[in-house]
């Protein structure tokens, strides 16, 4: 289906052997957040890339950021790459186990490693979250220049933490702790730095990889007011209405088959009508800021595109745009103790300045469930709302208005980039790729990226899925899921509304066997009894805060001991006198 206003598909010349590559990763964006996919935000630059290239409507990633980033940048399953989950939810029983070191293992090469060997300049700006310390930052994994946030997130207006798990916002440039500007906005800062890196060499001197990992639209959801104000009143109808509207647009755009059902809002979701007028205004404004954050990011992407045009490098640049997982449901503001922490770190959540400097804004589980439409649930979970996200590829060798509907996965991105770049084979004794190049599917949508009999699994902290042809099994853990496996036919029921495990017992049994084989192959470790990811976050954050406080507490104790000793010494001197 051709999108409105998109050029008619036509064959174009074969891609040059060494295109530049711009890999853009959005943080926590839903499948339909971009305008080209039916979203509310104004994203004209991303939409033009989609119209001039390929939209993937069957693309899946993992449900959490670090595992997705590991797979995106290496083409290797997250467990085999060494990043099975994220440290914030890691239980003590999994620490130190193979695949759970939460940094890229020796022998796991990034796309930057591979392209650097092929003669590319390799540049990065944005969130890293793939290991800490010497050798684990981008400069240790193939990037020539990098400005990297070594955390799951941070404030967008200042270098400060956004949750109690972190003491600060750890930014590094080329592996060295970076001093950040006094005033900045994250999307502008990252593109400014990437343009600076690009301009360090003359245009055309060397092909480049530019990896931009935006903070948008991760918590804290923040945006300049001039962008957020574009959406005044847009979300006043509430989350159930927005979920319905997105499902309707998904059908119009061919993302969802015309007769396919979708899930309603989750049972635990608050009814919009039950909220006070003040709460409705605050929640509606939170989504206005969310859309403004997407638009602000898109505007910065536009500046990068214009700069590449000025350098004469735009036509030979392959763009890849995607998200690391589905939308974020967390409410950090109302967690126990957060009021004190926010006051200590200069945060509030006032309606008048929501999303602006000093505002700790979020959208919460109801809006996350709404914007995940036509999928169910959201980030953390392997239902479609958590793992079905947008993917766009545009550039030389890709025909305009291409639509790829077959199942594709995050591990396929690096093999595709390496294919377009005509990269040489990997050195000996490196970890093999799990993904496949998507060039055949880009050339002919009838050529599926993965054969119907190939099983592709994923697992993060117990939340798991396995795809094979039209079938998917999925398991979601507490606190939202019940830990049961379910079976869905994704061609007939991409909204996951009818569990077929009882109707198709043979298919269900064979897919469970495939998943068990996947677990053995990649080394999935068992979870402790009663594991709950949200409780684990709280436990880990408390432990971290105690760790931050221990040095100061130790200094206080040492001072008290010194005072007591000094007092005793003075008393002895007086007696002696």
By mean pLDDT, which of 395-404, 437-446, 568-577 is the weakest? 568-577
Distance, CA of 383 to CA of 240 (rounded, Å): 18
Whether the pLDDT of residue 289 is over 80: the answer is yes
Residue 549: predicted pLDDT: 61
3-state SS, residue 145: strand
Of residues 285, 431, 425, the one with CA closest to residue 350:
285
Most confident of 4-8, 413-417, 440-444, 573-577: 413-417
Residue 539: predicted pLDDT: 81
141 is catalytic: no
Look at 298 and 555; give whichever has higher pLDDT: 298
Q: What would the pLDDT profile of 487-534 be if each residue is shown by its tens digit?
A: 999 999 999 999 999 999 999 999 999 999 999 999 999 999 989 887
Say if residues 32 and 249 touch (Cβ distance below 8 Å).
Answer: yes
3-state SS, residue 90: coil
Q: Element (H or E) spanning 68, and its range?
A: helix 65-74
Q: What would the pLDDT profile of 251-276 be if each residue is shown by its tens digit?
A: 999 999 998 999 999 998 999 999 99
Average pLDDT over residues 145-150: 98
Given pLDDT bands bounded at 50, 70 and 90, which one contains residue 559?
Answer: very low
Distance, CA of 219 to CA of 147 (rounded, Å): 20
3-state SS, residue 470: coil
Residue 449: predicted pLDDT: 87
Q: What would the pLDDT profile of 216-254 be if each residue is shown by its tens digit?
A: 999 999 999 999 999 999 999 999 999 999 999 999 999
Of residues 165, 162, 133, the one with CA closest to residue 150:
133
Q: What's the residue count for the chain?
A: 577
Where would I find the H helices in 348-467?
364-371, 384-387, 413-420, 439-443
Neighbours of 343 (CB within 10 A): 10
Average pLDDT over residues 80-100: 94
Residue 564: predicted pLDDT: 47
Average pLDDT over residues 306-320: 97
Phi, psi at 55, each rounded to 5°: -105, 130
Residue 532: predicted pLDDT: 87
Residue 541: predicted pLDDT: 72
Average pLDDT over residues 536-546: 77
Among all chains, which residue has been given the structure tokens 């956004």?
162
**CA-CA-CA-CA torsion sign (179, 185, 191, 195):** negative
Look at 573 and 176; give whichever has higher pLDDT: 176
Q: What would the pLDDT profile of 332-361 be if each residue is shown by its tens digit?
A: 999 989 999 999 999 999 999 999 999 999
Cα→Cα distances 331→163, 283, 360, 535, Å = 11, 12, 10, 14
Whether the pLDDT of residue 15 is over 50: the answer is no
Distance, CA of 155 to CA of 357 (rounded, Å): 9
Whether the pLDDT of residue 562 is over 80: the answer is no
Of residues 58, 28, 32, the one with CA closest to residue 43:
32
Which residues is 212 bridged to in the sheet?
24, 125
Given pLDDT bands bounded at 50, 70 and 90, which one contains residue 17?
Answer: low
Q: What would the pLDDT profile of 365-377 be if each residue is shown by its tens digit?
A: 999 999 999 999 9
Average pLDDT over residues 205-212: 97
Average pLDDT over residues 31-54: 98
Residue 306: predicted pLDDT: 98
Whether the pLDDT of residue 16 is over 60: the answer is no
Query: Catalytic one among 60, 103, 129, 450?
Result: 129
Where would I find the H helices in 405-504?
413-420, 439-443
Of residues 389, 386, 331, the one with CA closest to residue 364:
331
For residues 72, 78, 82, 83, the Cα torsion angle rounded to the nearest 10 degrees is 80
Average pLDDT over residues 28-40: 98
Percent of the chain residues topping a pLDDT of 70: 92
Q: Element (H or E) spanning 473, and its range?
A: strand 471-475
pLDDT averaged over every residue in the chain: 92
Residue 357: predicted pLDDT: 97
Residue 9: predicted pLDDT: 39
The string of DSSP codes covering 531-559 is --HHHHHHHHHHHHHHHHHHHHHHHHHHH
Say if residues 445 and 403 touch (Cβ distance below 8 Å).
Answer: yes
65 is catalytic: yes
What domains are there in the chain, each with its CATH number? 20-443 (3.40.720.10)
Whether the pLDDT of residue 10 is over 70: the answer is no
Whether the pLDDT of residue 326 is over 50: the answer is yes
Say if residues 411 and 435 touch (Cβ distance below 8 Å).
Answer: yes
Of residues 214, 101, 197, the one with CA closest to residue 149:
214
Of residues 442, 458, 283, the one with CA closest to residue 369:
283
Whether the pLDDT of residue 1 is over 60: the answer is no
Residue 568: predicted pLDDT: 56
Average pLDDT over residues 323-330: 97
Residue 575: predicted pLDDT: 54
Residue 361: predicted pLDDT: 98
Of residues 323, 330, 365, the one with CA closest to residue 63:
323
Q: List, in sequence order, every beta strand (DSSP E) within 234-364.
A: 317-323
Average pLDDT over residues 289-297: 98
Whether the pLDDT of residue 404 is over 60: the answer is yes
Say if residues 122 and 144 touch (Cβ distance below 8 Å).
Answer: yes
């Amino acid at each position: 289906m051709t999108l409105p206003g998109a050029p008619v598909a036509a064959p174009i010349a074969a891609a040059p052997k060494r295109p530049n590559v711009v890999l853009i990763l959005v943080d926590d964006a839903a499948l339909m957040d971009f305008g080209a996919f039916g979203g509310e935000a104004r994203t004209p630059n991303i939409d033009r890339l989609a119209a001039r290239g390929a939209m993937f409507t069957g693309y899946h990633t993992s449900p959490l950021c670090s595992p997705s980033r590991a797979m995106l940048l290496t083409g290797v399953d997250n467990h085999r790459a060494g990043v099975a989950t994220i440290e914030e939810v890691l239980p003590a029983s999994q620490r130190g186990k193979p695949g759970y070191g939460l940094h890229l293992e020796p022998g796991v090469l990034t796309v930057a490693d591979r392209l650097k060997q092929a003669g590319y300049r390799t540049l990065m700006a944005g969130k890293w979250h793939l290991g800490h310390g010497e050798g684990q930052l981008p400069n240790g994994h193939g990037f020539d220049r990098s400005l990297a946030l070594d955390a799951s997130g941070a404030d967008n207006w200042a270098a400060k933490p956004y949750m109690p798990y972190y003491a600060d916002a750890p930014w590094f440039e080329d592996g060295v702790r970076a001093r950040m500007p006094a005033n900045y906005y994250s999307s502008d800062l990252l593109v400014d730095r990437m343009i600076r890196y690009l301009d360090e060499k003359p245009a055309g001197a060397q092909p480049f990889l530019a990896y931009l990992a935006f903070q948008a639209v991760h918590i804290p959801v923040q945006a300049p007011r001039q962008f957020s104000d574009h959406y005044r009143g847009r979300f006043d109808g509430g989350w159930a209405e927005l979920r319905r509207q997105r499902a309707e647009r998904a059908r119009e755009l061919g993302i969802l088959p015309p007769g396919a059902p979708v899930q309603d809002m989750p049972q635990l979701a608050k009814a919009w009508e039950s909220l006070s007028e003040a709460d409705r205004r605050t929640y509606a404004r939170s989504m206005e800021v969310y859309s403004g954050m997407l638009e602000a990011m898109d505007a910065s992407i536009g500046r990068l595109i214009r700069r590449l045009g000025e350098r004469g490098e735009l036509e030979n640049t392959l763009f890849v745009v995607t998200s690391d997982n589905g939308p974020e449901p967390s409410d950090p503001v109302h967690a126990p103790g957060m009021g004190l922490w926010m006051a200590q770190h200069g945060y509030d959540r006032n309606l008048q300045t929501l999303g602006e400097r000093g505002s700790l804004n979020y959208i919460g589980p109801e809006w996350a469930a709404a914007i995940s439409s036509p999928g169910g649930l959201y980030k953390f979970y392997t239902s479609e709302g958590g793992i079905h996200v947008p993917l766009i590829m545009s550039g030389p060798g890709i025909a305009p208005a291409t639509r790829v509907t077959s199942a594709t996965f995050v591990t396929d991105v690096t093999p595709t980039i390496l294919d377009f770049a005509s990269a040489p084979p990997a050195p000996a004794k490196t970890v093999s790729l799990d993904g496949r190049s998507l060039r055949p599917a880009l050339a002919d949508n009838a050529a599926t990226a993965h054969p119907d009999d190939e099983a592709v699994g994923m697992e993060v902290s117990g939340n798991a899925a396995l795809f094979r042809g039209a079938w998917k099994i999925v398991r979601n853990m507490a606190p939202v899921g019940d830990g049961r496996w379910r079976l869905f036919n994704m061609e007939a029921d991409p909204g996951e509304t009818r569990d077929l495990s009882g109707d198709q017992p043979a298919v269900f049994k064979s897919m469970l066997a495939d998943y068990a084989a996947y677990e053995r192959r990649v080394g999935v470790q068992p979870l402790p009894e009663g594991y709950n990811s949200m409780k684990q976050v709280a436990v880990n954050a408390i432990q971290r805060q105690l760790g931050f406080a221990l040095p100061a507490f130790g200094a206080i104790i040492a001072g008290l001991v010194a005072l007591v000793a000094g007092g005793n010494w003075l008393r002895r001197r007086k007696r002696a006198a």
